[in-house]
Structure formats: C-alpha cells, structure tokens
Amino acid sequence: MTTTTATPWTLGTVPVPASLDDDDAWALRGEVELERLVERDLRGHDDLAYSVQETLVALRDQRYVARTHLVVTHPDRPRDVVGALHLRAPQLGDTHLVECGLLVHPDHRRRGVGTLLLAAAERHTRDLGRRLLLVASDHGPEPDADDPDAVTPPTGSGRIRRTDPFARLAARGGLVLQQSERYSVLDLPVDPGHLARLRADAQDAAGPDYRVVTWQDRYPGQWVDQIAVLVTRMSTDVPRGAVEATEDPWDARRLLDAAADTRASGRGWLGAAALHVPTGTLVGFTEVEYPLHAPTVVFQEDTLVLREHRGHRLGQLVKAANLQRLAEVRPTARRVHTWNAEENSYMLRINVALGFRPAGVSGLWTKPVG
C-alpha cells in the first residue's frame, strides 16, 4: 500500500489484491469493516455496507469508471483502518468531475481524519484535471422545517441538520449542499392483494398499448440495446439539482459487462420494463438487486420512464410487477432500500403507495476545484 504520513494519521492507497487471501488485502478488508461499523452506528444495521467481494470486483473494473480507494490508519496500529475515501472518475459522461464518499470511524471524528480525506479528494480531482468535486453523505431522519439547524439545498426539498458530523466537515471544507435525497425502506412481505391492485390500476391507466416484460440475472438478447438506451437516459432524465450533468452513454457491451460484474460480486437482480406495443419499444424500466449472501436485503436500483411516455402510470406498473416477481424469487427478503431526489415527487408518490417509509436523508455536496 502506497502511504503518505500526515500527523498523526497515515493515508494510503488501497491496493487491488490478486486474491482476498493475499497479505495486502488487509486494507480492502479494513475499509469494508469500517463501512459496516459506520452503517451500524448511523442506522442500527449494516444492510447497506458492501461485502469484500463486491468491493474487490468494483475496484478491478476500471473500464468505464476509474476507481481509487484510500484509507487512513491508526498511528499506533498500522493496519487499523479509521477512515476511508472512495473516489469515482467517470470515463465517458461527466468527465469534468470526480464523485466521492468518505467514512470516518465514530471514535475518531473531529480529530482531522475527515479533513485529511477531503483534502485528498480535492487533490485527486485536481491531479486528474477535473474541475468539480461531488461528495455524497448519509444522515439520519430529516429535521423539521422550523429546526434552526436545518440546511435546505437550492432545490427547496429535503433538509439536513447542520450539526451532523459530515455537515460540520462540509462547512469547514467549503462544500455546498446542492441536493437532498430521501432514503426509504420498504418492509417485506407486501400484501399480495395490495400489489395486485396497484399493478391492475396502473395497467388500466396505461391501456392496451403497454405491457410488462421481465428478466432475471441475464438481459434478454432482444432487449439489450433498448435497455442500454434507458440506462443512458438515466444520466440526463433524473433530477440532479443544479449540478452540471452530461450524458453517460451505455451500449450493449457496457450493459453486459455490468451484468457480469454484478454476478461476479455475488448479487442477483430482477428487472421489469414497459413495452410500447405499437412500436415494439421499451419505454420504461426498473431493477432491484440483492446480495446472495444476505437473504433479507434488497436494493431498488434504477427506475425510469422516458419523458415522451410519462403520464400513463408506467412507473407504478413496472415497480409493482417487479415486486411481485421479487416475492416469488426471493421470499426470504425483508427490506428494500431506495433513494430518490426529494424533488422527484412523482416517484416518491409511487414509493409511498407501495409502502416505502422515510428512513433518512442523503446529501450531494459540490466544490469547484482548480
């Protein structure tokens, strides 16, 4: 592991080991364990923490997103990870920015670890010749509107308490809150009758011009190109607040590469799409993923309806259909986790109707660099 020393902490780049049994896999294992600890401290569970295998697969794949992980270790225990930084540099769309998330051990907050990581993120962004740093943060329940410590982004939706640990770090580091996302959880199982009614109501509104197609763990060959178009549109059609965004292009090859990585990381997934029958075109889709090692946990992934086909309740149609399939394929599942921009009122209404409950807030912060 390449290291630099900043008193009293040591910052180093996480190597990508050939095997998780290698001696230099300690840094990778340490950052994963730190993420579990931070998640348990914030939420009371570690559902959202990635496994060692998932993290290794992501780090090995540098084709479309260049990933770099850094860790901060304890001065007296050189393999004790007390901070971690995950950096993502998109290689196709959004090549003007670097995305990052950082973790600090709860017992070592306000001791310079976060400041060290944030400075490293700015340096990395500058070294790549990019001009904007995006930092994601996770927080507990949203404060009330009249809370004097509440911070609201320019979108006017979603609040974060300025006394939260990351909000304090952001204020010191010159970061600006641009957008808030609602973190929600759906407790499973959902009443089958409720899902059937939601799907039937949506199908009635959509009419005979639309029907549902589904897939599991493999993308159907006849739909690969069209699904890639839908994923591409995710980069421009979802709310991004005031953050400058450019199209992130997907094609069949990239989609199949991502599917192979998902399988290699030990995850399964289900997808459902809305087919516009008159044109034979997929016009909306949704997917969920589930770690095979965690039988109770599910993640709601992308959901999108093309702008030109909105107003037919297709989002509700595909999400209800996919949850019906999930109950059949993954009966052990007990929680679905999802995130939505607070200003995305249409998707939030669908989630509330399905039974999702608010469980926290995530922030998107920016800082110009260079």
Strands 9-13 and 65-73 turn out to be antiparallel
**33, exposed or middle or buried, with CB in 10 Å at 0-12, 13-18, 19+?**
middle
Mean pLDDT of the chain: 95
Closest listed residue to residue 135, CA positions, set 160, 100, 97, 182? 100
What's the mean pLDDT in 38-50?
97
- 3 band by pLDDT with thresholds 50, 70 and 90: low
- How many domains does the chain divide into? 2
Whether residues 166 and 274 fall in one domain: no
46 occurs within a structural domain: yes
The residues facing 334 across adjacent strands are none
Whether residues 33 and 160 fall in one domain: yes
What pLDDT, in 10s, does the model give residues 109-135? 999 999 999 999 999 999 999 999 999
Is the CA virtual torsion 341, 169, 122, 366 positive or negative?
A: positive
Whether residues 300 and 151 fall in one domain: no
Whether residues 117 and 23 fall in one domain: yes
Which amino acid would we find at residue 242?
A
Per-residue pLDDT at 6 exceeds 90: no
Q: Of 129, 162, 183, which marks where a domain is finished?
A: 183
> Which CATH number does the domain housing residue 168 bear?
3.40.630.30
What's the mean pLDDT in 75-97?
95
- 57 band by pLDDT with thresholds 50, 70 and 90: very high
Q: Of 150, 183, 216, which marks where a domain is finished?
A: 183
364 occurs within a structural domain: no
Q: Of 157, 183, 209, which marks where a domain is finished?
A: 183
What's the mean pLDDT in 45-49?
97
pLDDT for res 8: 85
pLDDT for res 76: 86
284 occurs within a structural domain: yes
Per-residue pLDDT at 1 exceeds 80: no
Distance (Å, rounded) from C-alpha 292 to C-alpha 81? Answer: 27
- 244 band by pLDDT with thresholds 50, 70 and 90: confident
145 occurs within a structural domain: yes
Residues 6+ apart with CB under 8 A from 226: 281, 282
pLDDT for res 171: 94
Whether residues 99 and 178 fall in one domain: yes
43 occurs within a structural domain: yes
210 occurs within a structural domain: yes
Whether residues 281 and 133 fall in one domain: no
Lowest model confidence (mean pLDDT) among 73-77, 117-121, 202-206? 73-77
Q: Please indicate whether residue 74 or residue 272 has the higher confidence score (pLDDT).
A: 272
Distance (Å, rounded) from C-alpha 238 to C-alpha 178? Answer: 15
353 occurs within a structural domain: no
Whether residues 257 and 324 fall in one domain: yes
Contact between residue 24 and residue 15 where contact means Cβ atoms under 8 Å apart: yes
104 occurs within a structural domain: yes
Give the count of alpha carbons within 13 A of 204, CB side only: 6
Whether residues 274 and 215 fall in one domain: yes
Whether residues 177 and 196 fall in one domain: no
pLDDT for res 4: 59
Whether residues 283 and 200 fall in one domain: yes
Whether residues 219 and 113 fall in one domain: no
pLDDT for res 29: 97
* Domain span at 196: 189-333
Whether residues 49 and 173 fall in one domain: yes
pLDDT for res 5: 54
pLDDT for res 78: 85
- 242 band by pLDDT with thresholds 50, 70 and 90: confident
What's the mean pLDDT in 288-303?
98
